[in-house]
């Protein structure tokens, strides 16, 4: 078949790219360089400088001016904490920086962040071709690294609310609170489908139901990016209010044996794709600009080294054309020497290497691999083309700096109200004996028990201010206690707070005991659990408080269903509140019936860990549930139901 006809039959962007390669190969000395040749110098009228041209045209043109070192630099992403000198951004021509969980500037304020990231961008603009940086962050429930940002419920709570329109609004708000400080790439949404809730990342998943994950993951992509994806950025990505989303982690992160983080999925690839692909199909169709590869292996093969998965499945079968980034130091888990690991990962299809530290060695090893033809120049050019295309689509060549005009949106009242609404919709009522709920707050004395009732860190969970999260009140927001005290100032409600659940005042007889318990904050493998029980301290608080002579209502903060038989047995009412984030008042709104209780379980709730992983029922009909199910997915009591 004549080469032209072959080329014309290709997708436009691929045609452009192939044309560029052919130019390189057949017309030496034209645009572009040999591996070691002297690069051509662009002019003011070079095509890539014309913002009216498409991202793919601009990327193909700019690529032609780059030498090997410049291309290799673009493929390297490091955490800013590992920079030995800021000028290395320039000398190594780094393509991207990130702030991993807790990698924050000394001045953790919008100004501190914006000044830091803008200074990095200025270093990048000092390179020969002045290529700006992609700056990535895990803003997985709001811009959670930034003190003062709105912290939304983690994905498990959004799954319980199951409201795509609201989640899209959360995506918009998260994007605004991120681009304001100079972030232009968010490693979110996780579209994991956790199959075993012993996994420490269960709460980063929306649900065990692929349909819910696909709907909410896509909504978050739309909210963060707008419409149009990389190919029509003027509808979304090139706006100052949007950033690039990341579907993660491709593929099978929620399906490991025993829910072990970064473990092995013991299934054939065909079945893994069947179980986990739906959110990627929908997210790619929504224009997600990037995908992050997963740590786990499938039948012993690490996904980061699998060309079958990262190229054949992701590119050929799913049609993904955006940027594929490796996970944090995941390449180093591949077999072989560091150079062999890089060769495997890049040849499998990784475009951007989240190293995240030794950029010097990585650049040396990558260059050697290309000069030895262990990685082809075509593969390097394909990776760099995608990186440049994302940068052009984001409008970074026109303006790479923080959009400080959105500073006033950070932690704004409208965003906090949105978060509070998400919290309201996330609460699932598991028990409501004798219709004790909703509470009526006139002339009611509540003993509020448990330190987590006044602990914004516990109600936010991992990925908050630091990687693992924290306990205590280090960020603004409202705790359960704050919300109750506020309410008592306006009604006949009286609150007695007892962090350890003890109470000895004979002069006061509480009408009700409200106990707040929960898991300690955690992230990733630190949250893997064999028993899914609450910390001893929380169980002791409950025992002390529930031994008093008054009905008990329990609020549970957790990143997944937990095994709490004594709580379910000895409480008249139980609310699963998941990890609501900074606006804990939303839980109190439900408790007092200001709003209906509408949340439903996004995960099946087991009777015990001995039944895991549950082969969940094909629907929510109790008759089809396998043994070991305490509450089926979709379960959630309502006041109307109880009132009848």
**Residue 70 interacts with ligand GLC (CB under 6 A)?**
no
Q: Which is nearer to ligand GLC, 463 or 631 (CB)?
A: 463
Cβ closest to ligand GLC, residue 294 vs residue 306: 294
The residues, ordered by sequence, that sit 6+ positions from 239 with a Cβ below 8 Å of its Cβ are 226, 395
- Write out the binding residues for ligand GLC, residues 575-604 only, by CB under 6 A: none
Shortest distance, position 405 Cβ to ligand GLC, whole Å: 27
Among 120, 135, 187, 206, indicate the residue that binds ligand GLC (CB under 6 A).
187
Give the whole-angstrom CA distance, residue 441 versus residue 592.
7
Binding-site size for ligand GLC (CB under 6 A) equals 8
For residue 605, state whether it binds ligand GLC (rule: CB under 6 A): no
* Nearest to ligand GLC of 451, 468 (CB atom): 468
> What are residue 176's phi and psi, to 5 degrees?
-60, -40
Beta pairing partners, 292: 248, 325
The nearest distance, CB 330 to ligand GLC, in angstroms, is: 8
In the bound complex, what is the minimum distance in angstroms from residue 247's beta carbon to ligand GLC? 11
Q: Write out the two tokens for 464.
A: 């908050």
- Does residue 138 belong to the site contacting ligand GLC (CB under 6 A)? yes
- Least distance to ligand GLC from the beta carbon of 129, Å? 27
C-alpha angle with apex 565: 559 to 567, nearest 5 degrees?
Answer: 75
Closest separation in Å from C-beta 88 to ligand GLC: 20
Structure tokens at 635: 């379960």
- Single out the residue of 48, 185, 250, 328 in contact with ligand GLC (rule: CB under 6 A): 328
Q: How many helices (H) and strands (E) does the chain have?
A: 22, 19
100 lies in the site for ligand GLC, by CB under 6 A: yes
Q: Which is nearer to ligand GLC, 455 or 524 (CB)?
A: 524
Q: By CB under 6 A, tell whether 248 contacts ligand GLC.
A: yes
- Percent helix, percent strand, percent coil in the chain, to nearest 5: 40, 15, 45
Which lies closer to ligand GLC via its Cβ, residue 138 or residue 441? 138
By CB under 6 A, the residues from 539 to 578 that bind ligand GLC are: none
Bridge partners (DSSP) of residue 446 are 495, 512
* 80 interacts with ligand GLC by CB under 6 A: no
The alpha helices in 328-358, defined as continuous H runs, are 338-348
**Residue 462 CB, nearest approach to ligand GLC (Å):** 11
Among the listed residues 189, 117, 166, 120, the one whose alpha carbon sits nearest the alpha carbon of residue 146: 117
In sign, the C-alpha dihedral spanning 605, 610, 616, 620 is negative
What phi, psi does 460 have (nearest 5°)?
A: -100, -35
- State the DSSP string of 162-219: T-HHHHHHHHHHHHHHHHTTT--EE---B----S-TTSTTGGGSS-S-HHHHHHHHHH
Of 327 and 538, the one with the shorter C-beta distance to ligand GLC is 327
Main-chain phi, psi angles of 605, to 5 degrees: -100, 115
Across-strand partners of 320?
none
Q: Is 363 exposed, middle or buried (0-12, 13-18, 19+ CB in 10 A)?
A: buried
Query: What DSSP string runs through 564-616?
Result: -HHHHHH-SEEEEEE--TTBTHHHHHHHTTSS------SS-EES-GGGPSP--
Q: Measured from the CB atom, is 114 or 247 closer to ligand GLC?
A: 247
Among positive and negative, which fits the CA dihedral 160, 165, 167, 169? negative
| Residue with smaller CB distance to ligand GLC, 201 or 403 | 201
Q: How far is the CB of 397 from ligand GLC (least distance, A)?
A: 25
Instruction: Judge whether 190 and 140 are in contact, CB under 8 Å.
Output: yes
Q: CA-to-CA distance for 628 and 172, rounded, in angstroms?
A: 40
Rg (CA), the chain: 26
**Rounded to 5 degrees, what angle do the CA atoms 188, 192, 194 make?**
145
**Distance in Å, CB of 327 to ligand GLC, minimum:** 5
Under the criterion CB under 6 A, does residue 113 sit at the interface with ligand GLC? no
Query: Which residues lie closer than 8 Å to 72 by C-beta, 6 or more apart?
Result: 93, 363, 366, 367, 370, 380
Judged by beta carbon, residue 97 or residue 447, the one nearer ligand GLC is 97
**Between 60 and 83, whose beta carbon lies closer to ligand GLC?**
83
Name 148's Cβ contacts closer than 8 Å, sequence gap at least 6: 109, 110, 410, 411, 475, 476
Q: 57, 264, 327, 589: which one contacts ligand GLC (CB under 6 A)? A: 327
* 304 touches ligand GLC by CB under 6 A: no
Residue list 498-517, contact with ligand GLC (CB under 6 A): none
Hunting for tokens 């206690």 — which residue is that? 481
CB of 45 to ligand GLC, least distance (A): 39
C-beta of 293 vs 447, nearer to ligand GLC: 293
DSSP letter at 637 equals B
User: Is residue 261 close enough to count as binding ligand GLC by CB under 6 A?
Assistant: no
CB 480 within 8 A of CB 454: yes
Counting every residue, how long is the chain? 644
State the minimum distance, in angstroms, from the CB of residue 138 to ligand GLC: 5
Per CB under 6 A, 279 contacts ligand GLC: no
Q: How far is the CB of 196 from ligand GLC (least distance, A)?
A: 17
Q: Give the catalytic positions in this structure.
A: 327
Given the rule CB under 6 A, which residues bind ligand GLC?
100-101, 138, 187, 248, 327-328, 524
């Amino acid at each position: 078949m004549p080469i032209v006809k072959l080329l014309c039959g290709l997708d436009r962007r691929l045609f452009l790219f192939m044309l560029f390669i052919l130019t390189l190969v057949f017309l030496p000395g034209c645009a572009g360089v040999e591996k070691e040749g002297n690069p051509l110098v662009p002019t003011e009228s070079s095509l890539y400088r014309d913002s009216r041209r498409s991202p793919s045209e601009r990327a193909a043109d700019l690529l032609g001016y780059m030498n090997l070192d410049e291309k290799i630099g673009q493929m390297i992403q490091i955490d800013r904490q590992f920079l030995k000198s800021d000028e290395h951004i320039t000398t190594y021509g780094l393509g991207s920086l990130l702030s991993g969980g807790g990698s924050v500037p000394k001045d953790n304020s919008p100004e501190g962040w914006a000044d830091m990231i803008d200074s990095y961008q200025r270093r990048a603009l000092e390179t020969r071709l002045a290529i700006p940086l992609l700056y990535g962050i895990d803003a997985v429930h709001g811009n959670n690294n930034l003190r003062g940002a709105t912290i939304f419920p983690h994905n498990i709570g959004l799954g319980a609310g199951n409201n795509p329109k609201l989640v899209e609004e959360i995506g918009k708000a998260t994007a605004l609170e991120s681009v304001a400080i100079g972030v232009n790439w968010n490693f979110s949404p996780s579209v994991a489908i956790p199959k075993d809730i012993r996994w420490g990342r269960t709460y980063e998943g929306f649900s065990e139901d692929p349909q819910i994950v696909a709907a909410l993951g896509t909504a978050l992509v739309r909210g963060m990016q707008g419409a149009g994806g990389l190919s029509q950025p003027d509808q979304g990505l090139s706006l100052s209010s949007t950033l690039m989303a990341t579907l993660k982690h491709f593929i099978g992160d929620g399906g490991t044996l025993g829910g072990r983080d970064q473990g092995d999925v013991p299934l054939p690839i065909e079945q893994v794709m069947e179980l986990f692909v739906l959110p990627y199909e929908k997210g790619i169709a929504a224009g997600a600009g990037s995908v992050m590869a997963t740590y786990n292996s499938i039948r012993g093969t690490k996904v980061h080294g699998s060309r079958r998965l990262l190229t054949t499945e992701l590119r050929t079968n799913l049609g993904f054309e955006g940027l594929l980034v490796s996970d944090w130091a995941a390449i180093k888990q591949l077999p072989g020497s560091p150079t062999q690991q890089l060769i495997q990962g890049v040849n499998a299809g990784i475009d951007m290497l989240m190293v995240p530290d030794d950029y010097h060695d990585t650049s040396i090893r990558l260059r050697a691999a290309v000069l030895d033809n262990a990685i082809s120049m075509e593969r390097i050019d394909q990776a760099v083309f995608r990186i440049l295309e994302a940068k052009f689509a984001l409008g970074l060549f026109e303006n790479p700096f923080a959009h400080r005009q959105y500073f006033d949106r950070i932690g704004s009242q409208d965003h906090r109200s949105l978060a509070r609404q998400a919290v309201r919709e996330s609460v699932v009522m598991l028990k409501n004996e004798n219709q004790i709920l909703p509470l009526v707050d006139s002339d009611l004395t509540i003993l509020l028990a448990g330190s987590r009732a006044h602990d914004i860190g516990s109600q936010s969970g991992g990925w908050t201010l630091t990687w693992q999260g924290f306990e205590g009140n280090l960020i603004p927001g409202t705790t359960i206690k704050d919300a109750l005290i506020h309410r008592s100032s306006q009604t006949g409600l009286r609150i007695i707070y007892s962090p350890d659940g003890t109470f000895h005042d004979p002069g006061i007889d509480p009408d009700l005991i409200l106990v707040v318990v929960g898991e300690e904050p955690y992230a990733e493998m630190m949250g893997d659990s064999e028993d899914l029980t609450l910390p001893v301290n929380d169980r002791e608080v409950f025992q002390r408080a529930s031994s008093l002579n008054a009905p008990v209502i329990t609020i549970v903060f957790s990143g997944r269903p937990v095994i709490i038989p004594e709580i379910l047995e000895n409480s008249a009412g139980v609310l699963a509140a998941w990890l609501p984030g900074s606006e804990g008042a939303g839980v109190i709104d439900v408790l007092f019936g200001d709003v209906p209780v509408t949340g439903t379980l996004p995960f099946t709730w087991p009777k015990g860990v001995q039944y895991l992983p549950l082969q969940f029922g094909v629907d929510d009909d109790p008759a089809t549930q396998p043994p070991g199910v305490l509450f089926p997915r979709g379960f959630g009591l309502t006041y109307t139901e109880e009132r009848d």
